[in-house]
Structure 1
Amino acid sequence: MTDSEFEFLRGFLKQRSGLALTAEKHYLLESRLMPVCRRFKLNGLGDLVTALRAAREGAVERAVVEAMTTNETFFFRDRAPFDLFRDVLLPQALAARAGQRRLRIWCAAASSGQEPYSLAMLLAEAAPRLAGWRVELVATDLSTEVLEKARLGLYNQFEIQRGLPVQLMLKHFEQVGEMWRISQALRQMVDFRPLNLLQPFDHLGSFDIVYCRNVLIYFDTATKADVLRRIADQLAPDGAVLLGAAETVIGITEALAPDAENRGLYRRGRPVAAPAAIAAPAAIAAAPAQPLFPRVAAAR
């Protein structure tokens, strides 16, 4: 791979996915993209760059972006964000939303589904308190391939053992050959949708709780600031955002601010205008009701 080919690929990935590759990532590009070349019968990265420059084949472009996307995830990852949901955020929402009995949650980098399904299990445990509520759990990701896996809810033995308590595995999963499938009731709770965080997402509507974990680490500072500002725009006034353990808003944006009492939790901060080079998102639209939670309560 020549230096000019590397620079083209680096720019292409930055534009399409926000991935900020440093100059020493030649090997990473080659190891991830050579299988794409073989899949599309291209002779090497030079031919791949030619195909991308010509922009003739959308499938090649999607394959390149998905090949470079890191989809490391597991059930109840880092545990603390899920303890916060169970012990702090859900009780607060039950009190604050008692009038309208509606709760909207967004997992903004859902990968193969373990994060939203972890939340779905916690919601199922709280089903008696949520009887009569409309709970919407929206899960998005850039990769259509991992979203398809998420919708199937089918995991191998290694995936099922990573972070998932045995009692929840026995309660919510069934064995299918050598794989494990999460229950249909929990699969129906999650609305999986393809979404690129670099593109407008105001059409999703407003949310009470947003999980945007372990994706901002791949963006440069300007992209992080833009994504966080737009997430804040989608957040209810008393809403909450949870980031990954290595992520923060400090020094990046004032649109969100650390919660004074809970580490890793962020609330709406001072309003920040959109940069002139980036169009401000449209007004938040009221999203139509999605699957009702009582369906899960009835399945218990």
Structure 2
Amino acid sequence: MSLATQVENTLAASRVPNTTTTPSDNGMTALIDLVDELCGVYLDNSKGYLIESRLAPIAKRLECRDYGDLVQRAKSLTGAPLRGEIVDAITTHETLFFRDESPFNALRYKVLPDLIQHIESTRMMRRIRIWSAASSTGQETYSIAMVLNELSKDLPGWDLQILGTDVSPSSIVAAKRGWYSNLEVGRGLDAMSKSQHFSQEGAGWQVAPELQRLTKFEVRNLLKPFPERDQFDVVFCRNVAIYFKAKERADMFRRMVDTMTQGSWLFVGSAERLSDLGPEFTPQTHCGCTVYRPK
């Protein structure tokens, strides 16, 4: 039986209630459960290729007997680096600057102007907090920072901060560094944006200091409790909940709302809809982008 067929068969079996790991699946069910536990990515049939293409090479390199052996090593007291490697391998790092464009137009022309007006009329503190909740290697976070930086000249004295989080430790290391290759900056940035917000360094481009001052990054698993309450005015959580089970997805978004201020805005992926979560998730359309105002 080929590895691809084995993956497909085990994924199908793993959807049966109370399925347990058996010797015949070579630990694949346990690996599926481990990935779900570590980062919330549920490996159904549509994502079975991730095991074959991303995790099988790790098992082969470590000379594991089977996937069960890989799971045992990852769960051992010394398995933290391996757990991080599994998360890095299974999570999607495909991203680019100003991805989909319309959310950033909505941010620039609708969300931030309305938010600034709301804060000026209702709060003593002139502060804006934005969360990029699946920031990968930082392109989304720095795209938000470019928009916010362009408006900051009209906001003297305001406290502006963007938090970028991702479950992948290596992605956060790359985001903090803020250095991107010619290919990476060429994906989504025009020449003017590149010259305004980056400086050439070696064979690539370094994010400008003023953008780095607006941003901070940390590793965060969206399935775990969030430390904040009533802090974020804008949240970008795009193209990550599609990998979660329905219950985990609903729980994450409801906990996310608890971190958001009155008058806040929530961006999700262009193909995502939250109307099934309740009337507080009512969509609005601005600049061709669907956004939510849950509070």
In structure 1, the partner of 2:255 is 230
CA distance, structure 2, for counterparts of residue 163 and residue 78 of structure 1: 9
Q: CA deviation at 1:127?
A: 2.0
Match of 1:133 among 158, 163, 174: 158
Identify which range, 10-19 or 246-255, moves more after superposition: 246-255
Aligned length: 269
Partner Cα distance (1:177, 1:91) in 2? 37
Please give the per-residue CA displacement for 1:242-287, whole angstroms capped at 9, x wherever unaligned.
Answer: 0011111022444422126674100116xxxxxxxxxxxxxxxxxx
- Equivalent AA in structure 2 for residue 264 of structure 1: T
8 Å contact 2:132–2:140 — kept in the other structure? yes
CA distance 1:65–1:260, change in 2 (3 Å): closer
Structure 2 residue 124 is the aligned partner of structure 1 residue 84: no
Q: Where in structure 1 are there 5+ consecutive unaligned residues?
A: 270-300
Task: Tell me if structure 2 keeps the 8 A contact 1:173–1:181.
Answer: yes
Whole-angstrom distance in 2 between the partners of 1:254 and 1:142: 29
Letter paired with 2:197: H
**Counterparts of 1:164 and 1:143, CA distance in 2:** 24
Q: Cα gap change, 1:169/1:25 in structure 2, threshold over 3 Å: closer, same or farther?
A: closer
8 A contact 1:6–1:26 mirrored in 2: no
Change (3 A) 1:260 1:28: closer
Offset at 1:55?
Answer: 5.3
SS in 2 for 1:244: coil
Q: Are residue 193 (structure 1) and residue 212 (structure 2) matched?
A: no
Letter paired with 2:92: T
1:12 and 2:60 correspond = no
Once superposed, what is the RMSD of the aligned Cα atoms? 2.1
The change in CA–CA distance for 1:187 and 1:42 in structure 2 (over 3 A counts) is: farther
Highest RCO, 1 vs 2 (Cα 8 Å, sep ≥ 6)? 1
TM-score (norm: length of structure 1) = 0.83
| Residue 10 of structure 1: how far off its partner (Å) | 0.9
Distance between the aligned counterparts of 1:25 and 1:162, measured in 2?
26
Q: Is the 8 A contact 1:104 1:207 kept in 2?
A: yes
Query: Aligned residue for 2:291?
Result: 265
**1:68 equivalent in alignment to 2:94:** no
- Relative to structure 1, the CA distance from residue 27 to residue 73 in structure 2 (aligned partners, 3 Å threshold; closer, same or farther) is closer
Contact in 1 for aligned 2:27/2:66 (Cα 8 Å): no
> What CA distance in whole angstroms lies between the structure 2 residues aligned with 1:248 and 1:115?
20
Take 2:237 and 2:139, find their aligned partners in 1: how far apart are those partners? 14
User: Aligned residues: percent identity?
Assistant: 35
TM-score, normalized by length of structure 2? Answer: 0.84
1:214 equivalent in structure 2: 239
Give yes or no for contact 1:243–1:265 (8 Å, CA) kept in 2. yes
Q: Name the structure 2 match of 1:112.
A: 137
Structure 1 segment 168-179 matched on structure 2, within 5 A: 168-179=193-204
Once the two structures are TM-superposed, the CA of residue 26 in structure 1 deviates from its matched residue by 4.4
Q: In structure 2, list runs of 5 or more residues that go unmatched.
A: 4-23
